């Protein structure tokens, strides 16, 4: 079975500092990995994905994530945090050759960027 | 704008009543998903359509839940005899394939009193 762990419920960072939101996954096969962001009273917005190729993927709003197969991790990063980055972040996974299986999401990490 | 609209945005109903939610993709995407999200949790898969065919249903989808996607365009999710445990945000998402990201609508927040 697929699963995603986001070990931190809350991450606090000062504006201008680098941020990291952690994600580890478990799948039986090669993963497709995704990060989404959710602002209050809104649906999830896609940030970036890893399908294949370069382990470092770049996405929207200056975010990037690094796929690490040996550590089964896909941490989200940004070099310089903005107050507007404060939101709920979700990591998700599905198996690449699984046909129709849906995304499996982590519980989410609340990011708070303090001015 | 993700290209997915959901109606209503909020629904308050009394326990035992039936409710129906609608998801309208703006453009044609062959894959449509329904998820449920409760407070403090990530979205949980409910059901999936490829065109008009419902191909997969989660064990979360009890007999009180039914979903349709006539003509492979919009979709409806109906909950019969609602229970307080059904209170959640119901999200609709679309995609064009397994390696492609899913685009989510704003959700319908259901409150069962």
Our CA-based measurement puts residue A1 at a distance from the nearest CA of chain B, in whole angstroms, of 13
- Residue A60 Cα, gap to closest chain B Cα (Å): 13
Strand duo B31-37 + B19-25: pairing: unpaired
> Please, are residues A108 and B41 in contact by the beta-carbon 8 Å criterion?
yes
pLDDT digits (tens, 9 = 90+) for B33-89: 999 999 889 999 999 998 889 988 888 888 999 999 998 889 999 999 999 999 999
Cα–Cα distance between B58 and A105 in angstroms, integer? Answer: 14
Q: Which of A43, A45, A94 sits opposite B98 (nearest CB)?
A: A94
**Residues in A 2-41 with any Cβ partner in B closer than 8 A:** 4, 32, 34, 36, 41
Q: Which pLDDT value is given to residue B72?
A: 81
Instruction: Measure CA of the first residue to CA of the last residue in chain B; give whole Å.
Output: 31
pLDDT of residue A96: 67
Q: What pLDDT sits at residue B2?
A: 67
Of A105, A108, A99, nearest to A29 by C-alpha is A99
Chain B residues at the A interface, defined by Cβ less than 8 Å, are: 2, 4, 6, 33, 35, 40-45, 48, 50, 55-56, 91, 93, 98-99, 101-107
Position A102 scores a pLDDT of 82
- Angstroms from A7 CA to nearest CA on chain B: 13
For B52: left if phi > 0, alpha if psi spans -120 to 50, otherwise beta; the answer is alpha
At A99 the pLDDT is 60
Tell me the C-alpha distance between B69 and B55, whole Å. Answer: 11
- Give the Cα separation of B74 and B25 in Å (integer): 6
**What is the per-residue pLDDT for A14?**
98
Does the distance separating the beta carbons of B45 and A43 come in below 8 Å? no
pLDDT greater than 70 at residue B1? no
**Per-residue pLDDT for chain A (115 aa), expressed as one digit of tens each?**
789 999 999 999 999 999 999 999 998 888 899 999 998 877 899 999 998 889 999 999 999 999 999 999 999 999 999 999 999 999 999 876 666 668 899 999 999 999 9
Of B91, B99, B106, the CB nearest to A32: B99
Q: What pLDDT shows up at residue B55?
A: 87
A91 close to A34: Cβ distance less than 8 angstroms = yes
Half-sphere exposure of A45 (CA within 13 A, CB side): 15
CB contacts of B107 in chain A (<8 Å) are: 42-43
Handedness of CA A108, A34, B22, B62 (dihedral sign): negative
Query: How close A42 comes to chain B (CA, Å)?
Result: 5
What pLDDT is recorded for position A100? Answer: 61
Q: How many alpha carbons fall within 13 Å on the CB side of residue B65?
A: 18
pLDDT at A42: 77
């Amino acid at each position: 079975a697929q699963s995603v762990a986001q070990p931190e419920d809350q991450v606090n960072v000062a504006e201008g500092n680098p941020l990291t939101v952690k994600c580890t996954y478990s799948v039986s096969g090669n993963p497709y990995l995704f990060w989404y962001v959710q602002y209050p009273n809104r649906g999830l917005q896609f940030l970036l994905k890893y399908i294949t190729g370069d382990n470092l993927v770049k996405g929207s709003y200056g975010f990037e994530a690094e796929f690490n197969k040996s550590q089964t991790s896909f941490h989200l990063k940004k070099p310089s945090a903005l107050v507007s980055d404060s939101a709920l972040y979700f990591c998700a996974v599905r198996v690449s050759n699984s046909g129709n299986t849906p995304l499996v999401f982590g519980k989410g990490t609340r990011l708070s960027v303090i001015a | 704008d993700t290209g997915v609209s959901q109606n209503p945005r909020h629904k308050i109903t009394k326990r035992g009543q039936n409710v129906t939610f609608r998801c309208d993709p703006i453009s044609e995407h062959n894959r449509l998903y329904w998820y449920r999200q409760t407070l403090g949790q990530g979205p949980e898969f409910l059901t999936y359509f490829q065109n008009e065919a419902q191909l997969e249903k989660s064990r979360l989808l009890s007999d009180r839940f039914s979903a349709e996607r006539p003509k492979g365009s919009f979709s409806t999710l109906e909950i019969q005899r609602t229970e307080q445990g059904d209170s959640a945000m119901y999200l609709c998402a679309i995609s064009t394939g397994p390696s492609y990201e899913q685009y989510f609508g704003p959700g319908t927040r259901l409150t069962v009193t």
